[in-house]
């Protein structure tokens, strides 16, 4: 059993943290046969709403566990869940710089979703600083990307400048991610083959390599 904790954090809202958590959680289950827990620490409760819609639609998954906790409580909750889960995700709220430390310290890996935007760049640095102080591994996930945009190269330049590793596969700005969330599903459940499925599968594979 891996028994690893992944915290998904970003100070700026709207970067796709919750979407990333659920897409990866189901990818780990479907493609890697892992038992996964997801912890919602965001007062908005988007992760919980997704899980409720999923349950209401009869989409039960024996290898998926959902819990809620405060940012401080997530440290304790993740420790308990690690005992019988391979991967534990902590989904965090935006604007958490002052409170992020417990959720980051609980993690083996911190993933920071970043859209190709200077505003996202600025919001990233506080989380990176906390993770580095806690000596936690950090990966940046470029999210909601338009592959033809000139901002993609600027995003890579920024990531190189702060000396943090990025996940090789970008997540495109695709409607299927939003649509699947609204149904309590993920792209790997809605589609057998697509660019979105390929993205999530490749990202899950790289993350598992990073966790070894």
Question: What is the residue-level pLDDT of the chain in tens, covering all 212 positions?
Answer: 579 999 999 887 777 899 999 999 999 999 999 999 999 999 889 999 999 999 999 988 889 999 999 988 999 999 999 999 999 999 998 866 667 789 999 999 999 999 888 888 888 888 899 999 999 999 999 998 887 788 898 899 999 999 999 999 999 999 999 999 999 999 999 999 999 999 999 999 999 999 98
Tokens representing 125 are 């640095």
Contact 60, 29 (CB under 8 A): no
Bridge partner residues of 84 (DSSP): none
- CATH at 25: 3.40.50.300
What is the pLDDT at residue 1?
Answer: 59
Q: Residue 135's domain spans which residues? A: 4-211
Q: Return the number of other C-beta atoms located less than 10 Å from residue 207's C-beta.
A: 21
End-to-end CA gap in the chain: 11
User: Model-level pTM?
Assistant: 0.95
Query: 3-state SS of the chain?
Result: CCCEEEEECCCCCCCCHHHHHHHHHHHHHHHHCCCEEEEECCCCCHHHHHHHHHHHCCCCCCCEEEEECCCCHHHHHHHHHCCCCCEEEEECCCCCCCCCHHHHHCCCEEEEEECCCHHHHHHHHHHHHHHHHCCCEEEEEECCECCCCCHHHHHHHHHHHCCCEECCCCCECCHHHHHHHHCCCCHHHHCCCCHHHHHHHHHHHHHHHHHC
Number of domains in the chain: 1
Separation of alpha carbons 157 and 160, rounded Å = 5
What is the pLDDT at residue 11?
Answer: 82
What is the pLDDT at residue 180?
Answer: 95
Tokens representing 180 are 């699947």
């Amino acid at each position: 059993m891996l028994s690893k904790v992944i915290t998904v954090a970003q100070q700026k809202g709207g970067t796709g943290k919750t979407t990333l958590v659920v897409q990866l959680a189901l990818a780990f289950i479907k493609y890697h046969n892992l038992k996964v827990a997801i912890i919602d620490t965001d007062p908005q409760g988007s992760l919980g709403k997704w899980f409720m819609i999923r349950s209401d639609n009869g989409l039960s998954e024996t290898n998926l566990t959902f819990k809620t906790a405060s940012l401080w409580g997530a440290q304790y909750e993740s420790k308990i869940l690690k005992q019988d889960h391979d991967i534990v995700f902590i989904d965090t709220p935006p604007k958490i710089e002052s409170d992020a430390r417990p959720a980051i310290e609980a993690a083996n890996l911190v993933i920071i979703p970043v859209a190709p935007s200077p505003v996202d760049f600025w919001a990233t640095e506080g989380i990176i600083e906390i993770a580095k102080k806690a000596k936690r591994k950090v990966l940046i996930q470029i999210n909601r990307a338009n592959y033809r945009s000139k901002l993609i190269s600027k995003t890579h330049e920024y990531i190189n400048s702060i000396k943090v590793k990025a996940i090789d596969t970008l997540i495109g700005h695709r409607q299927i991610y939003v649509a699947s969330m609204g149904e309590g599903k993920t792209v790997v459940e809605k589609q057998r083959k697509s660019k979105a499925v390929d993205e999530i599968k490749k990202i899950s594979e790289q993350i598992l390599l990073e966790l070894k």
